[in-house]
Structure 1
Amino acid sequence: MTLTLLSGLSAETRTLSGWGRTHPVSTSVVQPPTLEQLQALIRAASPRSLIARGLGRSYGDAAHRSGGLVIELPAFDQITVDPASATVTAGAGISLDHILRVIVPAGFFLPVTPGTRNVTVGGAIAADVHGKNHHVDGSFGTHVQRLLLVDGTGTLRELTPSGRGNVEEAEWFWATVGGMGLTGVIVEATFSLIPITSSLISVDTTRYRDLESLMAAMVEADSKYRYSVAWVDSLDPRGRGVLTCGDHVPAEVLPHNLQADPLQYDPKALASAPPFLPGGLLNKFTVRAFNEAWYRKAPKQRQAELQAMAPFFHPLDGVQDWNRIYGPAGFLQYQFAVPDAAAHLVSRTLQALREVGAPSFLTVLKRFGHGNPAPLSFPMPGWTLAADVPAAVPGLLPVLDQLDQEVAAAGGRLYLAKDSRQPAAMVQRSYPRLAEWQSLVKALDPRGVFVSSLSERLALTADNSET
């Protein structure tokens, strides 16, 4: 069904969900072709009616709302690379995948990339995504030098991290970074790049028989590698795992046969998950078999292996629609960050998931470095564990509720871009600057135009239309 909005704009009715495929909703989707039409749309919008959406890779309900109007920005896809300053200016609707295809052959790499390249620039900023290099380079918003935001009044604002001396504008910038699209619609951003001379990564891989030795090696790797990540066997009581660390390879040290074209970049999706899989396909038996094979596949120790960027940074992008493997009930990701003093919550969480029978073949452990000034940015110095589990596991939600309390008590928090079930009280307890952020949102969106299922579930924003 098509709904006519303003002159020249129409909305299409669609069923949307997050990447976890839980709680689908029927909503209207509009794609403004110009900045002026986007501004007019926002000015004419009713309170609590709009939210922007990128490529739908938030796992839960961050980028839609039942009965609302979702804004997509495929027309905002411009890209300009400035080699002299090692920066790129890009439209908010362009994907990191598209940017990589332009910048890698030109001798640059993204300052931060999440586990998928299929996210937009706007989405990367709104979720303040992090990657394997957070302990060195921080999260995506740390590298943004300027952004253009259309706020809740339809006003186009140019914001920078420093506000160019204007404290309020700097606060609006950082409220937008990690702000989950609730300060307005990002339409463009300029951010720094990493200069490279080859597209290959030198990778060291080591297997560890238990979680304690794995985590000790990860702490040691902080000062040795730009990129590091660990896969953990969630079903193994010892917590065995595989640590993968890497750095960009200078072209001059490549084997001679690779020096002729050192900046090749051509990622491909290798396969596609079937459109339907039975809900019981993923269970502790099939996941145990997968985990055993994955662990044995990794070498006990291998150093300086040359890997292409795509399999190192975005291995799951090699399988299209891999989220289908969890069946029609979908899945959720439980991802928390805790300080070093609460490292025990990593093993505690893995044990709790084993006891409730929640199989996870994708369990990832990373190190975080210092955070940035954004009030709702997720990373903090310490540890982050992410476990994907089928949503239909009996008894799962009460276990996660208990883990929430332990994470919050330890000074940790959950990632909003991955969340689909935490209660509002958890966010209020674990994001201590929430009230500060809410006051900034009220200034940028005084009518309360922007809303999502996530923001309603977590009471992130007040209904400004009533004030």
Structure 2
Amino acid sequence: MKPVASWGRLSADPHHVISLNDPSRVRTLVCAGPHLGVARGMGRSYGDVCLNPEGALWVATGLDHFIGFDDNTGRLVCEAGVLLRDIQRLVIPRGWILPVTPGTQLVTVGGAIANDVHGKNHHVLGSFGDHVHNLTLIRTDGELIHCGPNERPDWFAATVGGLGLTGIIVQAEIQLRRVAGPWLDTETVPYASLGEFFRLADDSEAEWEHTVSWIDCIARGGERGLFMRGNPTNAGQRPAPGGRKLTMPIVPPVSLVNRLSLRPFNTAYYHLKKWQAGRAITHYEPFFYPLDNLLEWNRMYGPKGFFQYQSVVPREVGHDAVQAMLKEIARSGEGSFLAVLKTFGNRQPVGMLSFPQPGVTLALDFPNHGERTRKLFERLDDILREAKGRIYPAKDARMPRALFEAGYPRLAEFMKYRDPGISSGLSRRLMGS
């Protein structure tokens, strides 16, 4: 037994940790144990989707081999433990790139599929599952399932965004996209109101592939922020960003994100970026993955850890719902400097439990202040429930079961594909087993 935490560091419960390193032995290992288990990659999920307290945890980061790459078509076959970072570094010099990537590249292919991750270009290219040709799944009864959009598509729809509950993903074939190089033509535009954000988002979708916004949830209830947009570009030969990455060396005794630090930090960040606003040529790593420059940044929230609350609401109620949430957050004084606001495109999700849906998504991190934080979340839940929105399970550690069931109308359909030998903290909390 070994204590294991997720990225939110809210707890470190004991697990039977089993490393999956050899594809030929995965079936034996997952079928042999007496304990229910769940697969885990890098553990970058914030809540309990990658945890299974007192049960088995099948760590798949050892399944990290590239199997094949067709340089003419951009089709990549790899094991599920391969990191997105290693894919990018392999294929970008060859003129290809991952079409969709989340806010960190330190996640596995299996985790990206199981959570159907999204990036800054959902309005153009959808989510990660839109670019998976096929995958291989091992069930805990030993059954091997190959599935894709055109092969056993029901199993594919259950597994993409299926939170690791249909089996262990061991291999996948991914479609990459052509790219001229590692550079983007970017622009940062300060905005002074939520209405201005929505106008920028609407105006940018036709001309810009990547759009995202940082919002100051402290100042005037989230009425100012920085809108960032970018397009791939051929910028020729330029020196890539260098230097050593910084590491948060220790867990401080109290959260460094607090009422004393939030307002001056957000104010300084906003005015610095406002001063630097305009067009620039930017390397893909700092644009897509700004937080990867500070390793172990989750330690800054102190020994009690932190929550992330990421929700999506339909576009027609987006302005009012987001405004109501931001006002509630500002009123509470809890706040976040990692506050992201962006829009999703008008396209249906790949998976039965995929998070992205047409609308607007708001994501914020909150230090764990116990009951005070939970009371805030209950008020945000009320706003979300009225707006008919939903919460991202990959980031969740506490949403009510009723809100989960209301937000994911295909849940009953999904349950037919669950592997009875797989269980997680999240599945027991939200599905009963």
**What is the TM-score normalised by the length of structure 2?**
0.95
* Aligned counterpart, 1:310: 285
Relative distance call for 1:268 and 1:181 in structure 2 (3 A) is farther
Q: Find the partner of 1:186 among 169, 184, 192.
A: 169
- Tell me, in whole angstroms, the C-alpha distance in 2 between the residues paired with 1:269 and 1:365: 29
- Tell me, in whole angstroms, the C-alpha distance in 2 between the residues paired with 1:409 and 1:154: 43
Of 151-160 and 361-370, deviating more is 151-160
- Tell me, in whole angstroms, the C-alpha distance in 2 between the residues paired with 1:211 and 1:277: 35
| Matched-pair contact (CA < 8 Å) for 2:137–2:144 | yes
* Aligned counterpart, 1:426: 403
- Tell me, in whole angstroms, the C-alpha distance in 1 between the residues paired with 2:165 and 2:255: 37
Q: Find the partner of 2:372 among 395, 398, 403.
A: 395
* Aligned counterpart, 1:410: 387
Deviation at 1:272, TM superposition (A): 0.8
| Matched-pair contact (CA < 8 Å) for 2:312–2:360 | yes
Kindly indicate whether residue 260 of structure 2 is the aligned counterpart of residue 272 of structure 1.
Answer: no
Partner amino acid, structure 2, of 1:385: L
Q: Secondary structure at the match of 2:334?
A: coil
* Aligned counterpart, 1:243: 227
* Aligned counterpart, 1:71: 58
Partner amino acid, structure 1, of 2:162: G
- Tell me, in whole angstroms, the C-alpha distance in 1 between the residues paired with 2:109 and 2:241: 20
| Matched-pair contact (CA < 8 Å) for 2:328–2:379 | no
- Tell me, in whole angstroms, the C-alpha distance in 2 between the residues paired with 1:402 and 1:439: 33
In the TM superposition, 1:56-455 aligns within 5 A as 56-79=43-66, 80-163=68-151, 169-237=152-220, 239-250=223-234, 254=235, 259=236, 261=237, 270-299=245-274, 302-343=277-318, 344-369=320-345, 370-392=347-369, 394-441=371-418, 445=419, 448-455=420-427
| Matched-pair contact (CA < 8 Å) for 1:148–1:189 | yes
Q: Secondary structure at the match of 2:172?
A: strand
| Matched-pair contact (CA < 8 Å) for 1:277–1:327 | yes
Partner amino acid, structure 2, of 1:391: N
| Matched-pair contact (CA < 8 Å) for 1:206–1:300 | no
- Tell me, in whole angstroms, the C-alpha distance in 1 between the residues paired with 2:300 and 2:69: 38
Q: Secondary structure at the match of 1:22?
A: coil
Summarize deviations over 1:195-217 as a string: whole Å, max 9, x none. Answer: 11121111011101222212221
Deviation at 1:45, TM superposition (A): 3.4
Partner amino acid, structure 1, of 2:141: T
| Matched-pair contact (CA < 8 Å) for 2:61–2:108 | no
Partner amino acid, structure 1, of 2:209: R
Of 295-304 and 50-59, deviating more is 295-304
CA-atom RMSD in angstroms: 1.7
Q: Secondary structure at the match of 1:234?
A: coil
Summarize deviations over 1:152-204 as a string: whole Å, max 9, x none. Answer: 312221111122xxxxx211111000011000000011111121112111101
* Aligned counterpart, 1:166: none
Deviation at 1:218, TM superposition (A): 1.3
- Tell me, in whole angstroms, the C-alpha distance in 1 between the residues paired with 2:382 and 2:244: 39
| Matched-pair contact (CA < 8 Å) for 1:81–1:103 | no
Deviation at 1:280, TM superposition (A): 4.5
Partner amino acid, structure 1, of 2:431: A
Summarize deviations over 1:423-444 as a string: whole Å, max 9, x none. Answer: 2111111111100000122xxx
Deviation at 1:123, TM superposition (A): 0.2
- Tell me, in whole angstroms, the C-alpha distance in 2 between the residues paired with 1:178 and 1:398: 28
Partner amino acid, structure 2, of 1:454: L
Relative distance call for 1:451 and 1:306 in structure 2 (3 A) is same
Summarize deviations over 1:16-51 as a string: whole Å, max 9, x none. Answer: 1111100221112111332232101222234x6110
Relative distance call for 1:306 and 1:182 in structure 2 (3 A) is same
Deviation at 1:301, TM superposition (A): 7.6
Deviation at 1:242, TM superposition (A): 0.1
Partner amino acid, structure 1, of 2:59: E
| Matched-pair contact (CA < 8 Å) for 1:108–1:196 | yes
Unaligned runs of 5+ in 1: 1-12, 164-168, 463-467
- Tell me, in whole angstroms, the C-alpha distance in 2 between the residues paired with 1:303 and 1:288: 24
Partner amino acid, structure 1, of 2:273: A
Kindly indicate whether residue 12 of structure 2 is the aligned counterpart of residue 24 of structure 1.
Answer: yes
Kindly indicate whether residue 421 of structure 2 is the aligned counterpart of residue 458 of structure 1.
Answer: no
- Tell me, in whole angstroms, the C-alpha distance in 1 between the residues paired with 2:20 and 2:350: 31
Unaligned runs of 5+ in 2: none
Summarize deviations over 1:238-281 as a string: whole Å, max 9, x none. Answer: 5200000001002xxx3xxxx3x46x767765211131213253
Aligned residues: 429
* Aligned counterpart, 2:22: 34
Identity rate of aligned residues, in percent? 37
| Matched-pair contact (CA < 8 Å) for 2:349–2:355 | no
Deviation at 1:412, TM superposition (A): 1.0
Summarize deviations over 1:380-417 as a string: whole Å, max 9, x none. Answer: 01100000010116522122123223313322100000
Moved >3 Å (runs of 4+): 264-269, 299-304
